Amino acid sequence: MGELVQFYKEGIENFAEGNLNSAFNYLSMAVNEGLEIEESNNALALILMYRGEFEQAYRFFMINNKKFNNKLSEKYLLEIDKVNNFIKRHNDMVDLAKRCRYDEALSALLFLRENGFRTVNDDILICLIYHLKKEHKKCRQILSEIYEMNKEELFYYEMKSYLDRKSSSKMKLSMVSLAAIAIVFSSITISKISISKSYKAAQTDIAARPVVNKTEKSDDSQYKLLVKLSDDIMKEDLYDFAQNDKKLDISALDEQSRAIYSKLKENYSTKAEIYFYKNGLAFYKNGAYKKAYEYLSIAYDNMKNNYLDEHVIFFTSKAAKASGNQSINYYKEYVKKYSKGTYIEECLYDLAILSYENKNVKEAQKYASILASEYTASIYNNDKIKLIIDKN
């Protein structure tokens, strides 16, 4: 019990200091282990309201009102219709934003904010719209208010870093802006509460449900992945983009979000080959062959039919071989495409040796013979090659 009380104290302290992520984690641990305290439930509910997770928040309000006759909870419960109306207005605003009617969307957002309906999603969108309208002072003011509300909000640090970088591309932020509009607000739509039942029935139903544990809807998780992808592009973190891209189910996105994904993917693809080649080559030279193969494989998947392809194929072959992965097909591709290439002698040698080790003597002799006849003076035309050629 002492540990749970400590979790509660840490949670309330973090809540008071504006560290909402930490507060939520501490208080959730306490609640999930059975510690129910009025102030803890209120704090969790308010954090969830700011996150836009209204149904979860109202479960806490119901519990607090039933067990503690809490005044704050009662206030929110009596204002369910008002909150539902705000959500409806918000969803209308999302439609405006997706159609790039930013002035109307901003007006609706500010109306909601002035009337007490505020979520992190709304704050982010207001900030981005101000930026797109070049009202930078107002953009920074909203960003400051986001920090005051939650000092652990990742968007604050990423956006501030973006604004502070003088050389940042405007187009890059524009893409991120569109992604935030389409994605973040779709998640609020998913979180919409529809409490049309009587107060007593709702109280019984919600109190009977699990409190903190929430199963994220699949389409919501896909939108959040798209947010991560846009963040990765903004930070030029192409490795994280490649990893998150594997998890994304495009079919779960709406048409607008798919268009945004296409732009993000196009931005990524223009940079991926050279980025992963350079980093993969550095790993290879440092003997980190497994990591080198991972990076070079991504470069290989993003080849652009240019001068770099030859080097990508060769070093992907070498990294695959050194890390114990299948490499023969890479070598064969190199020999087929670059019969007079920079690395042809080494590729023929490796192919001959690998084929021989795999007991494919005829294949080994084919490559060994090409090496011996066409590159007689090569350092790779050595005793091992002669042994393979002479093998009966």
* Amino acid found at 276: F
Question: Which residue type occupies 256?
Answer: Q
> Token digits for 107?
């007006």
Let me know if 251 is exposed, middle or buried by CB neighbors in 10 A (0-12, 13-18, 19+).
exposed
Residues 6+ apart with CB under 8 A from 76: 45, 49, 57, 58, 61, 83
- What pLDDT score does 379 carry? 96
Please check whether residue 274 is in contact with residue 304, taking contact to mean a CB–CB distance below 8 angstroms. no
Residue 371 to residue 341: CA distance in whole angstroms: 13
CA distances from 262 to 132, 179, 226, 258, 375 (A): 21, 11, 11, 6, 46
Q: List the structure tokens of 380.
A: 């790779």
Compute the chain's Rg from CA coordinates: 29
Six token digits for residue 207: 């109190």
- Burial zone of 174 (CB within 10 Å; 0-12 exposed, 13-18 middle, 19+ buried): middle
Q: CA-to-CA distance for 49 and 17, rounded, in angstroms?
A: 18
Under 8 Å between Cβ of 94 and 188: yes
| SS3 at position 241 | helix
Sorted by sequence, the CB contacts under 8 Å of residue 386 that are 6+ apart come out as 372
Q: Give the pLDDT confidence score for residue 181 in this predicted structure.
A: 46
Q: One-letter amino acid identity for 386?
A: K
For tokens 């795999």, the residue is: 358
CB-based contacts of 27, cutoff 8 Å, min separation 6 = 7, 8, 11, 12, 15, 40, 43, 44
**Structure-block tokens of residue 338:** 């670059």
Q: At what angle do helices 218-234 and 154-164 cross, to 10 degrees?
A: 30
CA–CA gap between residue 242 and residue 299 (Å, rounded): 11
Q: What is the pLDDT, as a whole number, of residue 209?
A: 39
DSSP string, 65-125: HHHH--HHHHHHHHTHHHHHHHHHHHHHHHHHHHTT-HHHHHHHHHHHHHTT---HHHHHH
Query: For the chain, which residues score pLDDT lower than 50?
Result: 166-218
* CB contact at 8 A, 19 and 152: yes
> pLDDT tens, 263-315?
889 889 999 999 999 999 999 999 999 999 999 999 999 999 999 999 999 99
Spatial neighbors of 166 by CB under 8 A, at least 6 apart, are none
CB-CB neighbours of 74 under 10 Å: 13
Task: Name the residue ranges covered by the structural domains of the chain.
Answer: 1-214, 272-390
pLDDT digits (tens, 9 = 90+) for 35-69: 889 999 999 999 999 988 888 888 898 899 889 99
* CATH superfamily to which 272-390 belongs: Tetratricopeptide repeat domain (1.25.40.10)
CA distance 96 to 93: 5
CA–CA separation, 207 and 93 (whole Å): 32
For the record, the structure tokens of 2 come out as 């002492």
Alpha-carbon span 141 to 88, nearest angstrom:
27
Do the beta carbons of residue 152 and residue 140 sit within 8 Å?
A: no
Which of 279, 362, 367, 285 is CA-nearest to residue 318? 285
